[in-house]
Copies of this chain bind each other. A is one copy, B any other.
Amino acid sequence: MMAHFNPVTPELVADLKRVLSDKQVKTDEEYLTAYQTDEEGNSYYFHKPEVVVFPETTEQVADVVKLANQYLVPLTPRAAGSGVACGAIPVYHGIVVELERMNKVLTFDADNMYAVCQTGVRTSDLQEMARQHHLLYAGDPSSAESCQIGGNVANNAGGNKAVKYGTTRNQLYSLKVVTPTGEIVTAGARLQKSSTGLCLEQLFAGSEGTLGIITEVTVKLRPLPPYRFNVVCVFKSDEEAFALPNKILKAGIDPTSIEFMDNEALVMTTKFLSMPMPHVDEGADYVIVTVETFSQDDADRKMEQLCDLAEANGAVDVLDADERIWKLRKQFAEAARDVDKMFQTEDFVVPLDQIAAMTAQIPELREKYDLYCVTVAHIGDGNIHVLPLNAKGLSPEAWFEKIKAFHADLFPRVYALGGKMSGEHGIGYKKLEEFAKCTPAAELHVIKAIKKALDPNNIMNPGKLVDMTGDFVAD
C-alpha cells in the first residue's frame, strides 16, 4: 500500500537543510514523537514523521515540496495541529511541514477592511487585532485561542459565528498556495466578486492540505457591530428547542450565533467550571442566541422579538445572559477531555428541518453501542457535535473499534436525511473509510480526478480525505 513512497534518506535531510537551514530541519526523536499526533488523543492513530521542517517563507515551502516530489516522500502540512480528524498526522510518515513560524500579519488595512496573514497567525490574534480597529474577523472556531488561520482555511473551520457570517471559506479573498508540484499559485483576489477563471480559492479551502499548502491568506474584515446581546432560551423538550432556529432566521433577526447544549453537556460543563446555571438541575436544554447590531434600537427590537418567539415556541424561561455564557459553551471540549482524553467529537451536519429527526436517533445508538454521549450543536447551521466519551476507560484499540462500529451505523442515517459527516472538522484520516463509503461514486471520481491531476505523485497529505493508493500503483 505504501510501496510507492520512499523513506527519508540522509541525502534528503541534507537537501532539506540546504534549501532551509540546519535549525529548520529536525530529526531528533523528541520532535518525531511530538509530531506523531495533532489534537487526537487516541494513540491508535499516532504515526511518527521521519523529519519535521519549519519553513519561514512561501519559497521555502515550495522548495520542500519540490524535494518531496524528487525523492517521492510524503508531506503532511500542519499549522497549530488543533484539528480533530487526524488531518495533521503523518500517516505515511515522511515530512511534516510545520508552518507555525510563518506567523506574521503581513498587511492589516483597516481602511479597506482586509488583512494578509501568513498561515501560522493565531486566529484569536487576528480577531483581537481587528477588534482594536472596530472591525470584525468573523471566523470564530471554538479553538480560536490555539488554532491558526491556515489550518482554519484548510479545514474550512466553522465555529460560533457561522449563522450570520458563514464559515472560514466565507471570510476569504485569496490564498497563496504551494501546489503539490511546488508551484506558487495565488487563488482568488481582493475583489468583491469575480467571474474570471475557476474558483480555485474555494477548491483549495477545505481541501485539508491534500491539494497544496496554504502559506498566505487574505481575509475580509467587516465593520464590528457595536451592540450585542446574548439570550439563553431554556427548553424542557429537545424538539421545541430544535424548532426555534428556523423561526429566528425567518423573522429576519439575523443572529450571529444560535447554539445548543443538551442537559448532559450542561451538567458536565457547569460541574467542570464550578459554574452553576439556572434550570440545569431540572433537566433543561439551552439554546443560546447572540445578536449583534449597529444601533441600540435595533438590539432592543430584536431582543423583544426573540423573547416572544422563544416563549411562543415552548421555552420555559428566557434569560438575558452576559459573556460568561460563551465561556460555558467554549469550555465544553475541555470538560469532555477531563472525562477522558480519548473523547470523540462527531461533527455531522443536517438540514435545519432534520435536526430533530437526526438527534431522535441518538438514544438508540447510545444504547446499541453502550456509549455515554453529550451533545452540543451549532444549531443555527445544523451542525451537531455528539461527543461519545470514553467514560469506562477502554483501551485505545477497543475505543477505536467501538467508534468505528458506531460510525458505520451513524453516518448512513445522517446521509439519509440529506446530511454530511462533517460540518467543520473535515474528513482527515479519521473518517477516510466512511467518507468513501457514504460518497456517491461519481462524486468520489471527480474528487480523485482532481487530486490526481494536481498531485500526480500523491505526496501531498496522502491518506487524508480520499485514499488514492489504488490510483497510484507502485512501478
| A contact set with B: CB distance below 8 Å | 111-113, 155-158, 162-163, 166-167, 169, 179, 183-187, 189-200, 202-203, 205-207, 211, 223, 225, 246, 249-254, 294-295, 297-298, 301, 347, 349-353, 378, 380-383, 418-427, 435, 439-440, 442-443, 445-447, 449-450, 452-454, 465
Contacts and interface: CB of A to CB of B under 8 A. Distances in A.
Contacts of A163: 192
Contact of A195 (B250, B353, B423): B423
A111 B465 contact: no
Contacts of A447: 197-198, 200
Most buried by B among A155, A185, A249, A347: A185
B246 A155 contact: no
A385 to B, nearest CB: 13
Contact of A111 (B187, B353, B383): B353
B202 A383 contact: no
Is chain A's interface secondary structure helix, strand, loop, or mixed overall?
A: loop
Nearest to A439: B197
B179 A446 contact: yes
Counting from the closest, the 3 A-B pairs by CB-CB distance are A192-B381, A453-B453, A202-B202
Nearest to A212: B446
B252 A420 contact: no
A470 B252 CA distance: 52
B113 A250 contact: yes
A223 B197 contact: no
Given A192-B349, A423-B193, A425-B195, A454 B465 contact: no
Contacts of A380: 192
A349 B111 CA distance: 19
A185 B440 contact: yes
Nearest to A182: B442
Contacts of A445: 183
A440 to B, nearest CB: 7
